[in-house]
Chains A and B, each alone.
Chain A
């Protein structure tokens, strides 16, 4: 069974630009969660999608948005990039809503650098 895939793996953008990251969950998984990982803050929850609906949201500004498609693939978008948005963005999938005892499987992440 293929794992969670994220594209692209690396991305360099400049301040003010916008970026779209993609996540393909494990086949059959309907829940996709997004996290931002930075050295100082660790993993910070962004949002979770289940069956194309946002079910939970973290404390991030509205510049961070996401969506999920009918095939469970998910995208997250960051508009008006700031230097502080430089981070590893991780996607995790699970077969049920994340936060249950159902394990979340993480992808390798997309490393975003904002110059």
Chain B
């Protein structure tokens, strides 16, 4: 069962524009929400992460907005650059007993055009 729904599947943004990727989750017990960036031929790399007690986190041009009541969180990329062209995955951490794991969204392929 898909527990983290990510949209859109693909996104084209002009250089300098704002890229917005959205994720929604079902499990209210999720307690950590990272975003990963993946370039072709590479593994995903952690970009930025947030905990549910914070509504927003900003690191450079990347911002996570978190809405706990709506069970939604989003990634905003300000002043998007061609080098940001990659696939972005949201994820959420859940727990089963003493074990925990990340559940990923299906990814968003971002293309930033000149």
Which A residues fall within an 8 A CB radius of B? Answer: 4, 33, 35, 40-45, 48, 55-56, 58, 90, 92, 97-101, 103-109
A-B contact pairs, 25 of them (CB 8 A): A4-B43, A40-B106, A41-B106, A42-B104, A42-B105, A42-B106, A42-B107, A43-B91, A45-B101, A55-B99, A56-B96, A56-B100, A56-B101, A90-B43, A92-B43, A97-B99, A99-B93, A99-B95, A99-B99, A99-B100, A99-B101, A99-B102, A106-B45, A108-B41, A109-B43
Q: How many A-B residue pairs have CB under 8 A?
A: 59
Q: Which B positions have Cβ atoms within 8 angstroms of A?
A: 6, 32, 36, 41-46, 49, 89, 91, 93, 95-96, 99-107
Q: List, in ascending order, chain A residues with CB within 8 A of B105's CB.
A: 42
Interface residue SS majority, chain B: strand
Q: B residues within 8 A CB of A40?
A: 106
Given contacts A43-B104, A55-B99, A56-B101, contact A101 B43 (CB under 8 A): no
Min CB–CB distance B20 → chain A (angstroms): 19
